[in-house]
């Protein structure tokens, strides 16, 4: 009866704790204390901390992906890029998924790293798609490589978190993404006064 | 007599272990075992693990900074930017300094975080300087903000490591930095056929 509820609660709590503290610093006992779920119920659902962590990582990935899928919506591609880059994010908390790469035990365990790698691969596909649309719409120069640029823009967000946490200030994160947008706009095929850059 | 030697050895070993495993996952015992320095000597030099970590962080910062100072050298600013962005880096090991922001105990301790914040502030200054030189040399559009762009380019490197570690492949790191260079070149004030972009 309370079965489903306690499983969900364990996954949710593990997800929060891994984001706050990382995998290594989270013990099964921490999860039980915060969730209020007992030891018997915990081991009924998850034989090991690692099994619980895989479920929590899948949950974090599921939380992250809908945001990237906004790219697939209608409207001007560059406006969708701007909306995705600039939407409110908690710079000092960092990315729920990206953070996991810095956790040694996650990084060194292919099973734990798999959901993280899969999430980044999917976000990359979404970025490539919207960047191709921006090129097709004449908003980005056609000699830019969308596959490459997709990694550049993903790195800006992931690295922006690192800078913000180092300085304990969201400013560098906001600078990093605004600067990326400035560069994308500077990479439009036409000059701001409307002349086309005819190089094709 | 062996005093200086063992202090250096402890700092070097702590620096390596913090890079490989992080602060939380490194015990004083790990440091003694790898360095071969005994417990008495260790506590003679460093009363606590935290004191040793501060010395190790200062060492990591000192290792990082000379690379940023290459920016101050002679020659074409954009060539120096390219050389710094593209120089060989171990993408799967990540940045010795940036990595520390992901370590909860470092992130939450102002004393441990201070050398990291200071290093990023200094690298930012170096980036701003070379980007201003690139604008002055007519290599970058004058409406781009060097302060902002400096954070974008720092984020590309820091975030590139995150992507590479997630995928266990240096490819996304190399893509991210090459894409940033493509964008910088696309943001030149003149078009490739030599016409000046007269917007000032």
pLDDT tens profile B142-176: 999 999 999 999 999 999 999 999 999 999 999 99
Interface mutation target, options B30, B118, B143, B159, chain A, most CBs of A under 10 Å: B159
How far does the CA of residue A4 sit from the closest CA of chain B (Å)?
Answer: 31
Per-residue pLDDT at A134: 95
Give the ipTM of the model, two decimals please. 0.88
Per-residue pLDDT at B1: 38
Which residue range(s) make up the domain with A53? 3-186
For residue A87, give the nearest of A7, A20, A178 by alpha carbon: A178
Between CA B6 and CA B14 the distance in angstroms is 12
Q: Let me know if residue B73 belongs to a domain.
A: yes
> Which residue is listed with tokens 């102002």?
B110
Region B50-61 average pLDDT: 93
Report the percent of chain B where pLDDT is more than 90. Answer: 70
* CATH assignment of the domain containing A59: 1.10.357.10
From A20, A149, A163, residue closest to B155, measured CB to CB: A163
Per-residue pLDDT at B4: 53
Contact call for A24 and B20, based on CB within 8 A: no
Q: Let me know if residue B191 belongs to a domain.
A: no
Contacts of B167 in chain A (CB under 8 A): 117, 120-121
Q: Let me know if residue B96 belongs to a domain.
A: yes
pLDDT score of B179 more than 70:
yes
Q: Let me know if residue A135 belongs to a domain.
A: yes
- Tell me the pLDDT tens digit for each residue of B66-125: 776 777 778 899 999 999 999 999 999 888 888 888 888 888 899 999 999 999 999 999
For residue B14, give the nearest of B93, B72, B100 by alpha carbon: B100
For residue A106, give the nearest of B174, B91, B25 by alpha carbon: B25
Interface mutation target, options B86, B148, B174, chain A, most CBs of A under 10 Å: B148
Per-residue pLDDT at B197: 45
A98 with A161: CB under 8 angstroms?
yes
Interface mutation target, options A18, A19, A101, A123, chain B, most CBs of B under 10 Å: A101
Region B26-49 average pLDDT: 94
Per-residue pLDDT at B190: 65
- Tell me the pLDDT tens digit for each residue of A150-165: 999 999 999 999 999 9
Per-residue pLDDT at B100: 86
Between CA A135 and CA A184 the distance in angstroms is 11
Q: Let me know if residue A193 belongs to a domain.
A: no
Q: Cα-Cα-Cα-Cα dihedral of A100, A101, A104, A109, to 10°?
A: 90
For residue B67, give the nearest of B123, B117, B132 by alpha carbon: B123
Contact call for A148 and B179, based on CB within 8 A: yes
Sequence-ordered list of residues with C-beta below 8 angstroms from that of B103, at least 6 positions apart, any chain: A22, A102, B18, B22, B23, B24
**Is the Cα dihedral B110, B112, B115, B121 positive or negative?**
negative
For residue A179, give the nearest of B83, B90, B4, B140 by alpha carbon: B140
How far does the CA of residue B161 sit from the closest CA of chain A (Å)?
Answer: 8
Regions in chain A scoring below 50 on pLDDT: 1-2, 192-200
Q: Let me know if residue A195 belongs to a domain.
A: no
Domain count, chain B: 1
Contact call for B160 and A144, based on CB within 8 A: no
- Where does the pLDDT of residue B196 fall: very low under 50, low under 70, confident under 90, or very high at 90 and above? very low
Q: Let me know if residue A191 belongs to a domain.
A: no
Per-residue pLDDT at B189: 87
From B21, B157, B193, residue closest to A104, measured CB to CB: B21
Per-residue pLDDT at B157: 97
């Amino acid at each position: 009866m309370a079965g489903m509820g306690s499983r969900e609660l364990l996954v949710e709590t593990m997800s929060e704790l891994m984001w706050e503290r990382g995998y290594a610093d989270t013990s099964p006992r921490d999860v039980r204390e915060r969730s209020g779920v007992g030891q018997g119920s915990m081991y009924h659902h998850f034989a090991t901390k690692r099994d619980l962590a895989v479920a929590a990582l899948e949950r974090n990935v599921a939380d992250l992906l809908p945001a990237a899928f906004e790219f697939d919506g209608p409207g001007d591609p560059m406006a969708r890029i701007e909306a995705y880059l600039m939407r409110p994010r908690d710079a000092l908390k960092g990315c729920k998924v990206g953070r996991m790469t810095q956790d040694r035990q996650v990084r060194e365990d292919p099973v734990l790293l798999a959901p993280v790698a899969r999430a980044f691969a999917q976000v990359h596909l979404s970025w490539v798609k919207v960047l191709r649309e921006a090129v097709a719409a004449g908003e980005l120069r056609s000699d830019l490589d969308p596959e490459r640029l997709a990694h550049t823009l993903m790195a800006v967000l992931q690295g922006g978190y690192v800078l913000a946490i180092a300085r304990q200030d969201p400013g560098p994160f906001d600078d990093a993404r605004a600067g990326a947008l400035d560069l994308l706009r500077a990479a439009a095929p036409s000059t701001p006064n409307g002349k086309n850059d005819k190089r094709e």
